[in-house]
Amino acid sequence: MANSFSVIGTSIGKKVSMAMTGLFLCTFLVVHLVGNVSLLSDDGGLAFNAYTDFMRSNVLIRIMEIGLVVGFLGHIVFGYMVSIQNKGARPKSYSNLASQANNGWFARTMKWTGTLILIFLVIHLKSFWFEFGFGDPQVAQYGDAAYKDMYLIVKEAFSNWWYVLFYVVTMVFLAFHLNHGVQSGFRSLGLSDTKYRRILQSLGSVFAFVMGIGFALIPILMYVKHAS
């Protein structure tokens, strides 16, 4: 009888694994965006610093972070495997034909938009996550409460126009990636039969748009607010 590892090794197994990790990462994006909105509060960073302090000190969240790392690594590895497999397979595999008929350009550029997001992620984690954990951040005092000043690190990063531009451009690619990725993920999980195909396709596009605009607006608004 086939065990779960041999199923994952099959072509459909890799696509399903990519879909599951991808859709899991989408839930992370929603939580991350909602948390980041507190950067826009007019409170000297209190809400955002309290939020990052909670995220960093809560044991349950730390355990979930392991899932996040596994999710990202799995998605990247399966993504490249599927991409290599599609290239080496028949000139037009079923999934290629379906993708091209539906969403040609977005489908064909998934590998490149994914790679750009990966490069972004390395720079992003170095600037924020690493600085917070292993750098020497200042301490912000709010009455009796004291937090590592993550808000200041983000504010200083987004006071550089080129850094803001880097974020905005990457968020366009993130939106492109999600636009095809979400509906393709639903299809790999067998949720997208003809009846729901259009709805799930629209859902993917709306999600991509909201994430792209949401994540791009934060650096823009912070730049505008603090540049003057």
Q: Which residue in the block uniquely carries the two structure tokens 């720079």? A: 123
Among 132, 173, 176, 186, binds ligand HEM (CB under 6 A): 132
Contact 36, 218 (CB under 8 A): yes
Could you say which residues in the range 31-70 bind ligand HEM, by CB under 6 A? Answer: 32, 36, 52, 55-56, 68
Among 77, 80, 115, 124, binds ligand HEM (CB under 6 A): 124
Query: What is the gyration radius of the CA atoms in the chain, in angstroms?
Result: 20
CA 164 → CA 152, 158, 200, 218, distances in Å? 15, 6, 32, 9
Give the 3-state secondary structure of residue 159: coil
Closer CB to ligand HEM, residue 170 or residue 188?
Answer: 170
Closer CB to ligand HEM, residue 185 or residue 192?
Answer: 185
Among 128, 137, 163, 172, binds ligand HEM (CB under 6 A): 128
Pattern 166-205, binding to ligand HEM, x per CB under 6 A?
-x------x-------------------------------
Q: Which residues are within 8 A (CB) of 83 and not within 5 positions of it... i.e. 6 or more apart?
A: 110, 111
CA 9 → CA 2, 15, 84, distances in Å? 11, 10, 14
Contact 48, 38 (CB under 8 A): yes
Closer CB to ligand HEM, residue 177 or residue 187?
Answer: 177
Size of the site for ligand HEM (CB under 6 A): 20
E strand residue ranges, 77-116: none
Asked if 163 interacts with ligand HEM (CB under 6 A), we say: no
Residues that bind ligand HEM (CB under 6 A): 32, 36, 52, 55-56, 68, 117, 121, 124-125, 128-129, 132, 150, 154, 167, 174, 215, 218-219
